[in-house]
Amino acid sequence: MKLPLLAGAATRVGVAAALSALSCLPVAAQGVDYSKLEIKTTDLGRGVYLLGWRGGDSLILVGDDGVLLVDTSVARMGDKITAAIAKVSNKPIKLIINTHAHADHFGANEALAKGGATIVANDKLRERMANGFTAFNQAIPPSPPAALPMVTYADAMTIHFDGETVQLFHPPNAHTDSDTLVHFKRANVIHASGTIGGDGGYPFFDMGSGGSLAGMIVAEEKMLSLADDKTRIVADEGEPASPETLKASRHMLVTLRGRVQRLIEEGKSEDQAVAAKPTRDFDAKWVHQGNFVTGDAMTRLAYQSLTRVTPPTTPRR
Ligand SMILES: [Zn+2]
């Protein structure tokens, strides 16, 4: 697999450094001290809580039926997720939904499902977990059978749980090729499966895992179609985003796609496209300190994604 951003050697060094700060990584590679991480629980109303640890943040829905958990974080965070759930519910975990095949979203599946929870995910996620895969240049071995989703779906699924209607949608080739958008209709909360940037930063798509710029735009449009002006959209980390932020993100991605596509059609190389600074007027809003997705990185991602989907007969740079 290739790292998401590949250009010259200098860029590669930058990317390696940047990826080490990326939360949505198979975080075992990052040397994170999980003993120091604390989960911040935020009540989003109607029985839905955000469990945030600035990684692959989880959501729970609690009620008389038990607990529905969206994403299990990494294996070493499993005990902390269990403890955080115990603070708001004494019921067992009945259902687990994994949003996508990055290890900080399914790592503690086996431990958290051993009480009898049913794991649900997109077909592609199970396939990746069962066979093992590579993400961010790190090999993820095949998962044990007890960690695998036992219920999978292709395009959409609806779960009725404790009075809530939980709708699952699969946007093809968005953040990855295994994404599930999770919409809690009554609570008016959507888990974005990494298709919106954390803390209002540039969003990231993992082309090595089947993600694409076009798919990100479709995913954001899907979430906009589900949202009203009070919807909370949960990214991988940080405070939930507002519909305004989601609209702005979609506008930024569509504008960037148009600009980079034009540069490609003008015959510009990837480095020339970066030098043209097509993100210049977006960077002040979308580049955040500590976020590895800079304007230049965003341009490279867009360029690579758009040239990958160009028909092979079209001349490339
Ligand atoms: Zn991810």
How much distance in Å is there from the Cα of 62 to the middle of ligand 1?
A: 24
Confidence of residue 312 (pLDDT cuts 50, 70, 90): very low
Q: Which two tokens stand for residue 300?
A: 């490279």
Residue pLDDT, tens place only, 247-278:
999 999 999 999 999 999 999 999 999 999 99
Q: In what order do the strands lie in the sheet with 66-70?
A: 40-45, 48-52, 58-63, 66-70, 93-97, 118-122, 151-153
| Cβ atoms of residues 196 and 203 within 8 Å | yes
Q: Which two tokens stand for residue 210?
A: 């089947």
List, as one string, the DSSP characters of 123-192. HHHHHHHHH-EEETTEEEPPPPGGGS-SEEESSEEEEEETTEEEEEE--TTSSSSS--EEEETTTTEEE-
| Cβ atoms of residues 64 and 94 within 8 Å | no
Compute φ and ψ for 76, nearest 5 degrees: -75, -5
Strand pairing report for 93-97 and 66-70: parallel
How much distance in Å is there from the Cα of 24 to the middle of ligand 1?
A: 5
Compute φ and ψ for 225, nearest 5 degrees: -70, -25
How much distance in Å is there from the Cα of 219 to the middle of ligand 1?
A: 14
Confidence of residue 7 (pLDDT cuts 50, 70, 90): very low
How much distance in Å is there from the Cα of 100 to the middle of ligand 1?
A: 7
Residue pLDDT, tens place only, 178-218:
999 999 999 999 999 999 999 889 999 999 999 999 999 99
Average of per-residue pLDDT across 139-147: 96
**For the chain, what is the total number of helices (H) and then of strands (E)?**
10, 14
Find the range with the poorest average confidence among 21-30, 66-75, 204-213, 250-259: 21-30
How much distance in Å is there from the Cα of 265 to the middle of ligand 1?
A: 30
How much distance in Å is there from the Cα of 193 to the middle of ligand 1?
A: 7
Name residue 61's beta-bridge partners.
Answer: 48, 68
Confidence of residue 31 (pLDDT cuts 50, 70, 90): low
| Cβ atoms of residues 78 and 111 within 8 Å | yes
Name residue 60's beta-bridge partners.
Answer: 49, 69
How much distance in Å is there from the Cα of 267 to the middle of ligand 1?
A: 32
Find the range with the poorest average confidence among 35-39, 64-68, 269-273: 35-39
How much distance in Å is there from the Cα of 103 to the middle of ligand 1?
A: 8
Q: Of 97, 96, 104, 111, which Cα lies nearest the Cα of 30?
A: 104
